[in-house]
Amino acid sequence: MKLLRIFLRRFIMIDYKRYKLEKEVFQKEKLPEAAYRFIGIGTDNPYLRIAARTNSGKIYTLHIELSSFPESIPEVYVTKMLKDSNGKNMSGASAQMHTLTSSGGWTRICHYGYNSWTPMVSLFKIYVKCRLWLEAYEAHLKTGNTIDTYLVHQS
């Protein structure tokens, strides 16, 4: 049984080397150290919490799952349930709003296309794409236009 348990352990995708590199990119791009935190590195539940300030000055916290990163596209959530311009929860998967099915009461952002994904994509790039999504989201709140108006779909 012990052997079976060892065999059935989940992958721990993000290794220490990659974690260090990702941190170096954040430093190079001058992201304040207080704005992000890697949690659970070396465990089977690693994730990144990172704050994103939009042009309007609002701050959102992004939760990026790293358990299958970088081999798979990481799941990205805004750590609350966002409302659309009609006051409805953004909990469902929507092509127009670039969202996927929410989890744990958090809105999930669709940030990368399956066919475009490569394991070279940095967490910084994902962060930038999600920042753009947040800008588009705020524009949606102001105008009622769908997020699709501002962002193109990726293959």
Partner 1 sequence: MKNENLIIYLDYQDILTFCSGHLLYKEAYAYEWENENVIHIHLSKKCHQFGQMYPALFAIDNKKTMQDKQFRFHVFIEKILPEPSVSVFVDGVQSDFYYIPDRNSLFSRNKGLLEKDVLKSKKAMIIGLGSFGAQIAVELAKAGVGKFSLFDFDRIELHNLARHIATVNDLGRLKTDVVEDAILGKNPYALVDKFPIDIDKNEELLSSEVGKSDIVICATDNNSSRLNLSKELVKKNKVGIFGRAVTRAAGGDVFRYRPGGACYACLIGHGIISKEEISSVQAGRLSGAIPAYTSDEDAQAVVQVGLAADISPICNMMIKLALLELSKGTESGIQTLEDDLVYDCYIWANRREYNFKNWHVFYQSGADRTIMRWYGVKVHKLDGCPVCSTDIILDTGQKGEYHDPENSDYEGLALV
Q: State the nearest-atom distance from the C-beta of 68 to partner 1, in Å.
A: 7
Interface size with partner 1, residues (CB under 8 A): 40
What one-character-per-residue DSSP string does 11-37 give?
P--S-HHHHHHHHHHHHHTT--GGGEE
Nearer to partner 1 by Cβ, of 11 and 56: the residue is 11
Question: Binder to partner 1 among 110, 130, 136, 151 (CB under 8 A)?
Answer: 110
Task: Look up tokens 């992958």; give the residue.
Answer: 11
Buried b (16+ CB within 10 A) or exposed e, 107-118: bbbbbbeeeeee
Q: What residues make contact with partner 1 under the rule CB under 8 A?
A: 6-12, 17-18, 21-22, 25, 29, 68, 70-73, 92-95, 99-101, 110, 114-122, 124-125, 128-129, 155
